[in-house]
Chain A
Amino acid sequence: MHASLEQVREQIVDLLPRLRRFARTLARDPHDADDLVQIAVERALARSEQLRPDSRLSSWMFGILRNAWIDEARTRGRRNQIFAPEALGENVGDAASETHTDVLSVQDAMARLPDEQRVAIGLVLVEGLSYKEAAEIMGVPVGTLTSRLARGREALQAMLADTTGAAQ
């Protein structure tokens, strides 16, 4: 049975914190990330009849958000990269604790990954989805997801090598 549009709206409201988090793994600038969420929400509501009763709203929304990100990245170029270095530089200067520096460097490293690796890392490592769910959202076989994940991890590991080494 179909959920009513009102029910879908409220379920999307409940999902907003996770959608914002996922968007933040994709777009480095928080405002850009929220813009992405807004676009995804509006697109989802415009075609809510496509939501099948047996599919998970969260997966559907993550998929729309991911597609919106890929579209944005292709058509508008990397607006976030214009703003990222300055914002990062300021925060690094303010960071008193080592933990703070760590967190920032992860976000900076994420912003350097190719788009699809970023999506894979965001879905599996940050959102905690299974390989199967993540692969479905990205519309690729599990093997493709696994290799993107592995390459993304390897790149992150290399970029974060210093801080990881110091922490262990």
Chain B
Amino acid sequence: MKFSEETLMAYADNELDAKTRTAVEEAMATDPEVARRVAQHKALRGKVRLAFDNVTDEPVPQRLIDAARGVPAVRREGNVIPLRRKAPPPRAWPQWASIAASLVVGVIVGQAMLRGSGSDLVTSRGGQLLANSVLSHALSEQLASTQTDQSAVRVGVSFKSKAGTYCRTFTAHESTTLAGLACRDHDDWRVQVLAQTTSTPENNTAYRQAGSALPKSVLQAVDDNISGEPLDAAAESAAREKNWNP
């Protein structure tokens, strides 16, 4: 008896009625080709299952637990920072501001940052500022030693905080330059401080890499949080291997 591929697939998925199942098993016993095809379906099933199985062993990000429990109570998609707002007229920064024009999170979220593409970098969730995909991806994947000048986001100093979590400074060059400090919180990067500067990447490449290029508020946050020395290249790479888990 000939069996369709769908029937053999259904056998591997344990979806056949008893009668058809028996018929397939009889065919498997006598026809190596049927046995081979069934084995192939079973192997693929096992392989696909195995590829995703470890996800259930991962710690569930706190933000998802909070979403399910409704903590805080009001949190819908509408609460995410809107990507487009009416753009205010471009603002001329005074000369002195280019040295260290820095604004802390509350100010910048309220006024300056939301209007431009800079808001693509962070998402507000439950009153906390989290790195969104582009920034989060850069923080998780980029190493200071190997990143290119073309990267939209550049990672600066990485270190272990007094709380035992990994933190990394970053700068993002878009219409303006944003700099900040983010610390790992489960699977998220929580942005501790975000500041805007007017220093442009064209000015001086070394300037971008030097710690002193970071706005004062970011440097202050680093000083407040750092435990010990910044990570060297090997430690940075090792931390990435661990997915930045403490």
Residues of A within 8 A of B (CB): 9-10, 12-13, 16-18, 20-21, 24-25, 29-32, 34-35, 37-39, 41-42, 45-46, 79, 83, 86-87, 90, 94, 102-103, 106-107, 110, 121-122, 124-126, 128, 130-131, 146-147, 149-150, 153-154, 156-157, 160, 164, 167-168
Contacts and interface: CB of A to CB of B under 8 A. Distances in A.
Contact of A83 (B15, B76, B77, B133): B133
A80 to B, nearest CB: 9
- Max chain A C-beta neighbours (<10 A), residue from B15, B45, B55, B61: B55
Given A24-B52, A153-B44, A130 B15 contact: yes
B137 A131 contact: no
Contacts, number: 121
A10 B52 CA distance: 24
B75 interface: yes
Contact of A25 (B52, B133, B136, B187): B52
Given A34-B63, A42-B67, A124-B13, 14 more contacts: A9-B68, A20-B55, A20-B58, A20-B60, A21-B52, A25-B52, A32-B133, A34-B61, A45-B70, A106-B50, A125-B48, A125-B49, A126-B53, A160-B44
Nearest to B75: A42
A106 B9 contact: no
B47 interface: yes
B56 interface: yes
Q: Is the interface of A mostly helix, strand, loop or mixed?
A: helix
Contacts of A34: 61, 63-64, 187
B211 to A, nearest CB: 27
B55 A21 contact: yes
B208 interface: no
B110 to A, nearest CB: 24
Contacts of B185: none
A66 to B, nearest CB: 15
A90 B133 contact: no
12 contacts: A12-B68, A20-B60, A24-B55, A32-B133, A34-B64, A38-B63, A106-B48, A147-B6, A153-B9, A153-B44, A156-B48, A164-B43
Pairs of residues from A and B, 5 with the lowest C-beta to C-beta distance, nearest first: A106-B51, A21-B55, A17-B56, A12-B68, A125-B48
A16 B65 CA distance: 8
A100 to B, nearest CB: 11
B67 A38 contact: yes
B52 A153 contact: no
A40 to B, nearest CB: 9
B71 to A, nearest CB: 10
B137 A18 contact: no
A117 B141 CA distance: 30
A41 B51 contact: no
Interface in B167-204: 187
Contacts of A86: 141
